[in-house]
Structure 1
Amino acid sequence: MNRINTKLQENKKLLSIYFTAGFPNLNDTVKIIQDLEKNGVDMIEIGLPFSDPLADGPTIQDSSTKALKNGMTTEVLFNQLKNIRESVNIPLIIMGYFNPMLQYGVDAFCKKCKDIGIDGLIIPDLPVDVYHDNYKEIFEKHGLINIFLITPQTPDERIRFIDSVSNGFIYMVSSASVTGSQSGFGDDQKEYFERISNMNLKNPQIVGFGIKDNATFNQATEYAKGAIIGSAFIKFLNDNSVENIDSFVKSIR
């Protein structure tokens, strides 16, 4: 069974952390992953930096720019992660845009992920119908789970189609804004969380965008299986040493 599915079966609210590979320094990637697991994080999203990250707010865009300047590339990331499964057991997901994967070759990219021990991909600009028609067989051949995003504006019919195509979890974007642009959740978001919960989808949901502390983590997971923190962790890395990751995780849990 894929590590993501195994983790989703645990009787707990899951904490997933996103960070940009190659930030703050090019060779911090493996240490950050190891420290996050050591401090109780359940899943990790490794951001593959891209020059035109449409869904990302200023904090993650800035980290991507710095990572690219540091020399991060798809090949560098794969090289950094080649022995990651000797020290890390939790699910690892690469989050990135489709263009670098196309340039690498989708089949070759997926095979490399499988060889390294990557469990899934999040590709915000790959529409679910395009994936279903053209790439689903490739992903499944290599044992990769592809995770799709929904927003408050996603029609129910499309949500159900995404649910039918998915075999892991659904990334429930808390609002239609970019990452890092929220402070807490209002009534509209809570109604959205509850509405999706009441759809009784076969895949659990994990909430992203707007989670930054214990209060927002608890709000987001009231109706969902877990929550994803990205911009708040990137800000923490920008302001603190990578040696202090334990204090960030403790502030969320």
Structure 2
Amino acid sequence: MNRITHAFRSKKNLLNTYFTAGYPSLHDTIPLAKALVESGADILEIGMPFSDPLADGPVIQGSSTVALANGMNLPVLFEQLQNLRTAVPDAPVLLMGYLNPVLQFGVEAFLKRAAEVGVDGLILPDLPLDEYEETYHALFQQHGLKAVFLITPQTSEARIRRLDALSDAFLYLVSGPGTTGGTTRPDADAQQQYFERVADLNLKNPRLIGFGIANKAGFDRACQYADGAIIGSALIQALQEVDDAPAAAARFVRGIKS
């Protein structure tokens, strides 16, 4: 059983924490991963910084800018991740990013390296679904990597079912319009109807809700409609201008999971 499946079968109300590799300092990636898991994070989502992150709001964009200036890139990240499974032996780990750097690295070479260092899955929001299905799905399977797809309130039932069929990880429910860390709050009734509509489809994959979840109250509410939640921008904010980023990350997670 892969680590993602095991996490969903063995736990409830999972917390997926997103952080940007190489932020706030270049060598914080592995110490942050270890601190997050030890303080209660169930899944790690490590962001691969990119200069034009279309789905991300200003907080994560800012962290990417800092990480790139620190010298983070895919070769450096994979070098750091050589120690990933020593630091976090059992936690599912996803890489989240955009297609351009992966194409520059070489898709098959990227998937091979990700599998070698112990990554479990990938989130590539700008990877076209047809291209994934026709060109890359078999390569993902060959390297034992899971694809995680995003669903929005506008996603049709037919597309949701297609995404569900193509994945064997979980589905990422975007809570509303906008980018990560957005301050615009969607209509609560419409949001609830969206969450319930997806739940009523009886999909084979579990679901995590992300975008705009910043605290324990938001996490607890998301867990009423899905198998857990994804928190990124609020965690990045908690790492700003601190002397000890792993300690700050641990405090943040304990505040969510308490």
TM-score per shorter chain, which class? over 0.9
Alignment of 1:165-204 (within 5 A): 165-182=166-183, 186-204=188-206
Deviation at 1:191, TM superposition (A): 1.3
Q: Which residue of 2 aligns with 1:61?
A: 61
C-alpha distance in structure 2 between counterparts of 1:184 and 1:80, whole Å: 37
**Partner residue of 1:246 out of 246, 250, 253:** 250
In the alignment, residue 247 of structure 1 is paired with which amino acid? R
Query: 1:49–1:68: 8 Å Cα contact kept in structure 2?
Result: yes
SS in 1 for 2:239: helix
Opposite residue 16 of structure 2, the aligned amino acid is S
Contact kept in structure 1, 2:22 and 2:67, CA below 8 Å: yes
Residue identity in the other structure for 2:68 = L
Q: Deviations over 1:117-158 (max 9, x none)?
A: 000000000022210111000000000001000100111110
Please give the residue correspondences for 1:214-233 in structure 2 after superposition, counting only pairs within 5 Å: 214-233=216-235
8 Å CA contact 1:184, 1:216 repeated in 2: no
- Tell me how far apart the structure 2 counterparts of residues 125 and 218 of structure 1 sit (CA, whole Å): 29
> Per the alignment, do residues 183 and 247 of structure 1 end up closer, same or farther by CA in structure 2, a change over 3 Å counting?
farther
Q: Sequence identity, in percent?
A: 51
Structure-to-structure mapping, 1:26-41, within 5 angstroms: 26-41=26-41
Structure 1 regions of 5+ residues with no counterpart? none
Return the alpha-carbon distance in structure 2 between the equivalents of residues 26 and 159 of structure 1: 37
| In 2: Cα distance, 1:173 partner to 1:235 partner | 20
CA distance in 2 between counterparts of 1:216 and 1:184 reads 12
Instruction: Count residues in correspondence.
Output: 253
| Alpha-carbon shift at residue 115 of structure 1 (Å) | 0.5
**AA matched with 1:126:** L
Tell me the secondary structure at the aligned position of residue 122 of structure 2: strand
CA distance in 2, matches of 1:199, 1:182: 29
Query: Normalized against structure 2, the TM-score is what?
Result: 0.95
What does residue 139 of structure 1 align with?
140
* C-alpha deviation, 1:10, in angstroms: 1.6
- Offset at 1:184? 5.9
Q: Which amino acid aligns with 2:174?
A: V
Deviation string 1:197-234 (CA, Å, 9 cap, x unpaired) is 11111111101101111110011111101100000000
| AA in 1 matched with 2:122 | L
The residue number in structure 1 matching 2:151 is 150
Q: Partner residue of 2:208?
A: 206
1:8 and 2:8 correspond: yes
Q: Determine if contact 1:59/1:235 at 8 Å carries over to the other structure.
A: yes
Kindly report which structure 2 residues correspond to 1:60-139, keeping only aligned pairs within 5 A, or say none. 60-88=60-88, 89-139=90-140
Letter paired with 2:248? N
Cα offset, 1:194, TM superposition: 0.9
- What is the CA distance between 1:87 and its match in structure 2? 2.2
The 1-side partners of 2:20 and 2:250 are apart by: 18
Q: CA deviation at 1:182?
A: 3.4
| RMSD after superposition | 1.1
Could you list the per-position Cα deviations for residues 82-138 of structure 1 after superposition, in whole angstroms to 9, with x for gaps in the alignment? 121112120110000011111111111000011100000000000222101110000
Q: Which residue identity is paired with 1:17?
A: T
- Structure 2 CA distance for aligned equivalents of residues 84 and 11 of structure 1: 22
Unaligned ranges ≥5, structure 2: none
Which residue number corresponds to residue 43 of structure 1? 43
Q: CA deviation at 1:251?
A: 1.5
